[in-house]
Chains A and B, each alone.
Chain A
């Protein structure tokens, strides 16, 4: 009885619940969609802001302004044809190491053959070929080779003897004119200033080795025999 009488009420209630449920679903969908639209709007607003900022940066950093800064501060100019290289080889050629003679470094005599020499001394047969007087000169010669590149300008000193044994070996190549000597060190600078060409390889470190060089050099430059010590030597020590 009661179930029958309330049946309509249940029907209405279930219908209402179903309708409400459907409505809630659609409400949920609508709210999600609205949120999505909100995000899209935010994106567009952000894009617009980016555009405005880009425009502002572009306007402040316009080419005419950069040109003005360049004229006033940077002073950059177009590269010349020589500044373009054809590849990695040309680039590598630009940074080729320069020969630097280190005078402070200890002179290491070529003493390697000592273990070989001992057996040589013992043997009578090898005594002639590997004897001490024969092996010594090469060692000395090697040490003199190092200075040879630098000392080339020193050759002229035909008159002065203090150079010692090493200079005497160089003598054959000596030239009377200053223009010739620098050509060994640096061909470009040579003709203009012979002293400078000496400077570069020396690198400021003038040891005892250089001294005979300077005295020798004065001779061709100054015809007067009295003034040998001051001309070229001062310049060398300046640098």
Chain B
């Protein structure tokens, strides 16, 4: 055993070595197998863990699939009765990726020109060869067109649905609603004023409720449009307001924009004459002067007399009247015949200080208080406000206000004397009525009713009467300032009315810009001939809808004015 034979020594180590090697190899194999298995198991575990992680905390964790709620891309705008005025819908859009077109481009251009003839074949072909990545061919395409384009089978054509703003009533209340740009942001009207609220995901689910009533709006727009074309006026504006809350039930400015295609509108059409434009509205201002004088105790009775000569020289100027009295007349007569001379004397007695203070309280000296961003600012004599300016402001010259401001002033005067800022949002649970400020006394407000009713019963506004609805109002014919001079022929006519006069509920202001005379008006272009009939027709249409019952037997208390009207004059 001490020295092994060479054969044995030679053979045994051979076998032993083999066995040892095999063991080693086996061990290595086991190791490798184990390692591979571990790696495999690790990968599987990793994947499993990842899946579990994703399931628990991933993007889709706990999220429901598909649509779960109907929140539009941009909030709806509805009128006070819930009728939609602006909505966002999914519209079809046809676009093209010229680089991805694989078919014959010339043939495609030909087919496109047939389907969408707004461009010619050559234009389509040039577009396809331009190498640009993307073009819109048609937005808001009709389903039939989409089907036809889809049938072309060209993979380069992209047909998709995109949110699009639609105004179902087209141009109705266009200046109130405004419109949006191509990206869906409001650029005018309420769309602009409430852009944040309409696009915020938290609030856009609830529609924006306006104070506008679409039926009233339609009646006003139709009647105004009618008058505008009949008298070839260059523009018109109208406002109907709730006297007690300041809610604007209808507001229009003509010519109008179609908010579905705002790009085609002229700058004149985009201009909102009801809130942006300020006009010298003339005699419609006179009731304010009388009310101020009454409230400050200068006029105790409508029988108070003023000397009304044919012309009134005052402070280096001369005041004229269209129908001079040439005698002593009462306040009732001054208002009935819309005398500048009489009103100027009342304003003179009132004085600048008081006049300015009252106009300020009524909101006539600042910007138009309304939600819209398109709003003007009243023009006043400013630093030149002297005794003569006080007289002219008294009868509505030298002060320019927006029609909406005028409506607001009448609302203040006839709702019992309390000022409420006008609003385009419905007064209700989400938008309570703000507290008002007292401007005129209740007594003045009550007594002024008879004066305004007198103008429609017997004065310049007779054509504005709607039988049974007790309309009261005042006409206003103002000469237009052209190149710094008052034109003798070009007018702005307006009418401010309140109904029913025995318990005022609504105020209506209409205005025509540069109406022309027609045979029916016997050559006149004054307010009594052109805007007063608009008021009559509009009130006959809207009053039943607003719940005002016509009654021929009801009238406001006229005993304060009728005894002071000299009937033989001008009748």
Contacts from A to B (Cβ < 8 Å):
34, 37-38, 40-41, 44-45, 47-48, 51-52, 54-55, 58-59, 62-64, 67, 78-82, 84
Contact = CB atoms under 8 A, between A and B. Distances in A.
B94 to A, nearest CB: 19
Given A41-B65, A84-B549, A59 B70 contact: no
Given A40-B66, A41-B66, A48-B70, 7 more contacts: A37-B68, A40-B68, A44-B67, A44-B69, A59-B168, A80-B467, A81-B551
Contacts of B541: 78
B309 interface: no
B485 interface: no
Nearest to A41: B66
Contact of B168 (A47, A58, A81): A58
B87 interface: yes
B276 interface: no
A123 to B, nearest CB: 64
9 contacts: A37-B65, A37-B68, A38-B66, A52-B90, A55-B89, A58-B84, A58-B169, A80-B467, A82-B468
A40 B70 CA distance: 11
A54 B84 CA distance: 10
A34 B171 CA distance: 45
Contact of B166 (A38, A59, A67, A82): A59
Interface stretch (B28-36, B214-222, B509-517): B214-222
Contact of A81 (B87, B169, B552): B552
B143 to A, nearest CB: 11
B307 interface: no
Contact of A44 (B70, B214, B218): B70
B468 A63 contact: no
B414 interface: no
Contacts of B179: none
Interface string B165-179: 010111110000000
Nearest to B537: A78
Contact of B222 (A34, A59, A62, A67): A67
A79 B166 contact: no
Interface string B59-71: 0000011111110
Contacts of A45: 67
B540 interface: yes
B388 interface: no
B544 interface: yes
A40 B64 CA distance: 10
A37 B222 contact: no
Contact of B67 (A41, A51, A52): A41
B64 A63 contact: no
Contact of A55 (B70, B166, B468): B166
Contacts of A34: 65
Nearest to B550: A81
Interface string B531-562: 00000010011001000011110000000000
B172 A64 contact: yes
B215 to A, nearest CB: 7
Nearest to A34: B65
B544 A41 contact: no
B469 interface: yes
A37 B69 CA distance: 11
A58 B82 CA distance: 12
- Dominant SS among interface residues on chain B: loop
Contacts of A78: 537, 540-541, 544
B66 A63 contact: no
A217 B87 CA distance: 75
B173 to A, nearest CB: 10
A77 to B, nearest CB: 8
Contact of A62 (B66, B168, B469): B168
Contacts of A52: 89-90
Q: Which of A48, A51, A62 has the most CB of B within 10 A?
A: A62
A71 B64 CA distance: 52
B384 to A, nearest CB: 46
Contacts of A38: 66
Contacts of A81: 467-469, 550-552
A34 B64 CA distance: 9
Given A41-B65, A41-B68, A55-B84, A64 B469 contact: no
Given A37-B66, A40-B68, A45-B67, A64 B170 contact: yes
Contacts of A47: 70
Nearest 5 pairs between A and B by C-beta? Answer: A81-B468, A81-B550, A41-B66, A63-B218, A44-B67
B218 A67 contact: yes
Nearest to B539: A78
B467 A62 contact: no
B68 A62 contact: no
Interface string B141-160: 00000000000000000000
B467 A63 contact: no
A67 B172 CA distance: 12
A45 B68 CA distance: 9
A135 B552 CA distance: 55
B124 to A, nearest CB: 30
A64 B169 contact: yes
Nearest to A59: B168
B66 A55 contact: no
Interface in B205-232: 214-215, 218, 222
A69 to B, nearest CB: 13
Contact of A37 (B64, B87, B215, B467): B64
Q: Which of A45, A47, A81 has the most CB of B within 10 A?
A: A81
Nearest to B69: A44
B70 A62 contact: no
Contacts of A67: 218, 222
Nearest to A80: B467
A40 to B, nearest CB: 6
A64 B171 contact: yes
Nearest to B469: A81
A56 B140 CA distance: 13
Contacts of B67: 41, 44-45, 48
A37 B60 CA distance: 15
Contacts of B70: 44, 47-48, 51
A66 to B, nearest CB: 8
A52 B467 CA distance: 43
Contacts of B68: 37, 40-41, 44
B166 A80 contact: no
A62 B66 CA distance: 33
Nearest to B221: A64
Contacts of B69: 44
A55 B77 CA distance: 13
Interface in B491-528: none
Nearest to B541: A78
Contacts of A62: 168-170, 172
B214 A63 contact: yes
Q: Which of B168, B171, B550 has the most CB of A within 10 A?
A: B168
